[in-house]
Amino acid sequence: MTRPRRPSPPTASTSAARTTTRIWACRSRCRRWTRRSDPRSHDRQSGSMNARTRIKICGLTREADVDAAVAAGADAIGFVLYAKSPRAVSAQRAAELARRLPPFVMPVLLFVNATPALIQQGVAAVPQALLQFHGDESPQDCQAPGRPWIRAARMDDGFDLLHFASRQSGASAILLDAHVDGYGGGGKAFDWSLIPVDVPLPVVLSGGLHAANVIDGITRVRPWAVDVSSGVEEAGHKGLKDAGRMREFCAAVREADARIAAAG
């Protein structure tokens, strides 16, 4: 029997083919981090898990660290566009670093009460990026750039997460961080028991995570993703990541997923 012929590949210039590849890669990255329903919304109550935990490593400033984070298994890489942060980079620098990312690894631009001009500068420099708002931005501020976005929530005893999340209906996820002076978690963990089971958006667990506690965090919270920064840095050097710690962190996340899957 004659085997059916495969269709001929489309004829296109090399540059056009590369452009198409980049477009589809960007679309795929966005779908992975911006789906509107959380596949674990019921899993946090039932104890089952249908998807692996995504990993975001944030605050990268060096090419070698970007490469090491990708090799370790990160799904997203965060670049801080907040001048007061010791991990800050310019929009141009973020673009240089983001160009090192392979397909299916998402760049994330972190803003804190940024001006519209700075946000547009970042979006123009890294057009495929997911935006993360970590300050006092309103939902309207977050929606204005017209890009997928996630919203940080600063957790403490008096914080009403359900009310806060209900006001962020346009967000792709809620990132939960510790409430400390200034913005960002400062490497501090918060009380995970403060997280209700019925958060209406995908949850990104952040705040003081490292290889030694992320397994406990994932098994207790069952987040859609985890976010780490200081927990994978060189001791005493903010913004400089440690390749070994990044590998250990990603391996611990996979171990947590394996334990949950084995438990059924």
Mind spelling out the 3-state secondary structure of 78-142? EEECCCCCCCECCHHHHHHHHCCCCCCCEEEEEECCCCHHHHHHHHHHCCCCEEEECCCCCHHHH
**CATH 3.90.380.10 for domain 14-263:** no
Q: What is the mean pLDDT of residues 31-58?
A: 57
Pairwise CA distance, residues 177 & 78, whole Å: 15
pLDDT above 70 for 52: yes
Task: Look at residue 8 and tell me whether its pLDDT is greater than 80.
Answer: no
Reduced to 3 states (helix: H, G, I; strand: E, B; else coil), residue 176 is strand
Q: Which residues are catalytic?
A: 58, 177
User: What is the residue-averaged pLDDT of the chain?
Assistant: 85
**Domain parsing of the chain, residue ranges:** 14-263
Confidence of residue 187 (pLDDT cuts 50, 70, 90): confident
Q: pTM for the whole thing?
A: 0.83
Q: What is the pLDDT of residue 169?
A: 87
pLDDT band at 19 (very low <50, low <70, confident <90, very high): very low
Shortest CA distance to 226 belongs to which of 183, 189, 264, 171? 189
- Residue 158's pLDDT is what? 87
DSSP at 166: H
The Cα–Cα gap between 129 and 34 comes to: 11
Q: Any idea what the Cα angle at residue 114 is, between residues 183 and 208, rounded to 5°?
A: 25
Helix (H) or strand (E) holding 262: helix 243-263
| Contact yes or no for 77/108 (Cβ under 8 A) | yes
